[in-house]
Structure 1
Amino acid sequence: MDKLFSLIESKQKGMGSISIFEKGEEMYQNSFGYASIEENIKAINKTKYRIGSISKTFTAAIIMSLIENGKLSLTAPLADFFPEIKNSSNITIAHLLKHRSGIFNFTSSEDYPSWMEQSISKEELVKRIVANGSSFEPNEKFEYSNSNYVLLSFIAEKIENKEYEEIIKETICKPCSLVNTYYGSDIIVKNNEAKSYTNTSDWKLATETDMSVPVGAGAIVSNPTELNQFLNCLFDYKIVSEQAVNSMIKIEDGYGMGIFQAPFYDKKAYGHNGGIDGFQSNAFYFPEEKVSVAYTSNGVVMPMNDILIGALSIYFGKEYALPEFNPPLDLKPEELDTYLGIYSSPDFPLKITISKEKNKLIGQATGQSSFPLEAYEPSKFKFDQAGLKMEFKPDDNKMILRQGGGEFELKKE
């Protein structure tokens, strides 16, 4: 395990911290890379990270606690709290928890990048959610939306007449003995809080979302050790009852209530992933094995999924070979010319523009940031952070795109 993370660090393929628990005890912990590159501060076991959407599991547990205490019900309509939202009389608390409300995901709005780093009032945030409207009728299908969990946070505040920050402390942190888990604010490195970074050719400081924006959908700060403590506390029924936890892990269209299910060989784990700015995180619990794994990163190059597969393979004694980070092929600028152009397909929702900067190939999907492509074989390129591979076939004017198990053939326009 140490070799895996030493390799990732030495090859600059990631930064972060990992913790593995079994039967409530920490069996492995490692921190690598930097909490702050600018200040030359290395990551340590006390380094804290923004955990993004893992916050949703906290929020779901808070809502289930309110229900168990008779202060709320799964069938309560959203109209009881926010009647101004479209379809609110037909949207229930359960729909919000399960991402089945139809409420548009405000972080997908075109103007979101222009205001995400600014402080916003609760009233203004609700106005933005109202203005975005609905994507589909309530309970028609599952569609992930941060709007759902922002609204759940505000509902909890209205019921308890307390700030979400206080509700987290009382409902989660106290029963689980969490001292380094809290509602985030501006990043303070002296408080053992990590900055986050992106890496195209070198580490660059990422954006810093103002934490008034994600609220209970993504504003919590923690570390892997305490995320494992939280999961063990939840699955030991110290926050809510066994019946409530079973409701949370009842999966419909791939999602429960603030919880995903993840397979690993013949095993099943329950938890959530998260991403905010340059931070990515994962925290999952295997009920049968009583094993949990939490990984928080403030700089991602090697895909997080690949890192977790490696760590879990080592832990559970599965066959695993350490990754080989071979240097990219060194191509001359003129060798890239044959790949340049715009590629599209009726089966793929975005157009991909391929350009070059000196001897590096650059990809850019419609409406998204550009990304560097690394040549690993002649005519084959990859972007590890997104788990993306492209194989060019210049003679046929096409490109094969592979990502997340999917394969698409795009033709040059």
Structure 2
Amino acid sequence: MLKKISSYFVLLLISTGSYAQNFDSQKLDSYFASLEQNNKFMGSVAISKNGTLIYSKSVGFSDLENNKKATPNSKYRIGSISKTFTSVLVLKAVEMKKLKLNQTIESFFPTIKNAEKITVEHLLSHRSGIHNFTDDKDYLIWNLQPKTEKEMVAIIAKAGSDFEPDSKAQYSNSNFVLLTYMLEKSFKKSYTDLLKEFITKPLDLKNTYMGGKINPAKEECKSYTFNEKWILQPETDISIPLGAGGVVSTPSDLVDFSNALFNGKLLNPENLEIMKSIKDQYGVGLFQIPFYDKIGYGHTGGIDGFSSVFSHFDDENIDFALTSNGTNFNNNNIAIALLSAVYNKPYDIPNFSSHEVSSEDLDKYLGIYASKQIPLKITITKDKKTLMAQATGQSAFPLEATEKDKFKFEQAGIVLEFRPEDKTMKLKQGGGEFLFNLE
């Protein structure tokens, strides 16, 4: 189960490219067929150009227990992409003079530390200093139970502040839960109604709304993690993430929302520029998402077993979105494949061939490895016929043998190459290579 209602994608950054006039949808179909056949991904994707859908695909199951396949209308919890919707609503409130970016929050939340210094803009840009409640060790103990506004504000207030307001940026779901309450008080309407009034109804987004208890009868997906088989995940109660992570949507709705937002159909130009203004890696409800020489703007999300990403690229007016209810793969690679297809860049259909090993074969790799390049030690152990790796201060994760002396952890894009004769190990991730020596 994902602890945080967020994740961060960093896409490939190399040279130049252009939109493929002869878009190869068949290759993308083969790409997703490979993922599906090898239990690597369950979810849906969509790509649009100039506001017109040019590709969509759904694979896996929306409800595995009832053998219900995912369709283009399957609805996913989108986690922190909700923050983009909430940011639009807050800036709409600013346009309507319901809120001001520079107003402080003490009249709304007098119990919050530094409330007299924290502004609406600080909340939007993760510069408030308010502690992120999903980082707390006990979060996964209470996140399945409904919480009232009073209870959530008390939890956030008790956690206090991590830094002086506006001194730096640090991701905090607490900010957007508080913004949800501020919106509701300012308009005297529920977040559900505000989302409908200002975004989903004007854009005719029929599959986007504030979530609730997952209802498969309404084509709402359950979520899963993979450990030899897909395992159903518990549901965070939506009264907790609210506008920080409680929205439900589909990729086709998300690309329509993205295209409308970046083409000026939701906010005035000044407020759209505020959203795109990046400081210390954060905009307002947006991140920069680079791909080769292009810079897109979007957001990512993760909650329970769900993960998601959307982005807009002004170059060729491209929007893409991915929503997943189960992944046993590095979703960043999927995003790269989608954009590579759009911009006529090379990408490979993944080959999931494995290398058979016995428990005895793994003994030569065991031990603690250290590197002079990075201050990190990696302990290699085994669990029967599975090699396990554990970095300093992190949980252990299973490694899959791909060929002799070579193992991978697909979800994080990690490859470990061993040279037992030299007592060394090479770690590859994100284009970097790090040499480790057996202690």
Residues 117-166 of structure 1: CA distance to partner in whole angstroms, max 9, x if unpaired? 11111111111111212221111212111111111111111111222111
- The Cα of 1:236 is off from its aligned counterpart by 2.6
Distance 2:340 2:58 in 1: 19
Residue 273 of structure 2 is aligned to residue 246 of structure 1: yes
Most deviating of 403-412 and 70-79: 403-412
Residue 173 of structure 2 is aligned to residue 116 of structure 1: no
Which residue is 1:211 aligned to? 238
Distance 1:104 1:267 in 2: 33
Which residue is 1:70 aligned to? 97
Tell me which of 63, 66, 69 is aligned to 1:36.
Answer: 63
Residue 184 of structure 2 is aligned to residue 184 of structure 1: no
Distance 1:281 1:78 in 2: 31
Which residue is 1:375 aligned to? 401
Q: Secondary structure at the match of 1:176?
A: coil
Which residue is 1:102 aligned to? 129
Tell me, yes or no, if the aligned pair for 1:49 and 1:193 is still in contact at 8 Å: yes
Tell me which of 325, 330, 352 is aligned to 2:356.
Answer: 330
Distance 2:350 2:289 in 1: 22
- The Cα of 1:78 is off from its aligned counterpart by 2.1
Give RMSD over aligned pairs.
2.2
- The Cα of 1:321 is off from its aligned counterpart by 2.8
Tell me which of 385, 388, 392 is aligned to 2:414.
Answer: 388
TM-score calculated relative to the size of structure 1: 0.93
Residues 342-375 of structure 1: CA distance to partner in whole angstroms, max 9, x if unpaired? 5677986876554322101223456755432112
Distance 2:112 2:426 in 1: 42
Distance 2:425 2:232 in 1: 32
Residue 262 of structure 2 is aligned to residue 235 of structure 1: yes
Q: 1:344 to 1:64 in 2, by over 3 A?
A: farther
Which residue is 1:269 aligned to? 296
Distance 2:243 2:54 in 1: 30
Residue 96 of structure 2 is aligned to residue 48 of structure 1: no
- The Cα of 1:224 is off from its aligned counterpart by 0.4
Most deviating of 29-38 and 378-387: 378-387
Tell me, yes or no, if the aligned pair for 1:200 and 1:371 is still in contact at 8 Å: no
Tell me, yes or no, if the aligned pair for 1:48 and 1:192 is still in contact at 8 Å: yes
Matched to 2:238, the amino acid is M
Which residue is 1:141 aligned to? 168
Equivalence map 1:231-380=2 (5 Å)? 231-327=258-354, 329-341=355-367, 352-364=378-390, 369-380=395-406
Q: 1:411 to 1:21 in 2, by over 3 A?
A: same
Residues 25-47 of structure 1: CA distance to partner in whole angstroms, max 9, x if unpaired? 11111111111111100000110
Distance 1:349 1:82 in 2: 41
Which residue is 2:17 aligned to? none
Tell me, yes or no, if the aligned pair for 1:200 and 1:372 is still in contact at 8 Å: no
Q: 1:29 to 1:339 in 2, by over 3 A?
A: same
Matched to 2:246, the amino acid is A
Q: 1:131 to 1:303 in 2, by over 3 A?
A: same
Residue 205 of structure 2 is aligned to residue 170 of structure 1: no
Q: Structure 1 vs Structure 2: percent identity of aligned residues?
A: 49
Distance 2:247 2:201 in 1: 15
Tell me which of 22, 34, 43 is aligned to 2:49.
Answer: 22
Tell me which of 82, 87, 93 is aligned to 1:60.
Answer: 87
Distance 2:142 2:367 in 1: 33
> Which sections of structure 1, spanning at least 5 residues, go unmatched?
none
Q: 1:412 to 1:130 in 2, by over 3 A?
A: farther
Q: Secondary structure at the match of 2:201?
A: helix
Matched to 1:243, the amino acid is E
Q: Secondary structure at the match of 1:209?
A: coil
Q: 1:123 to 1:363 in 2, by over 3 A?
A: farther
TM-score calculated relative to the size of structure 2: 0.88
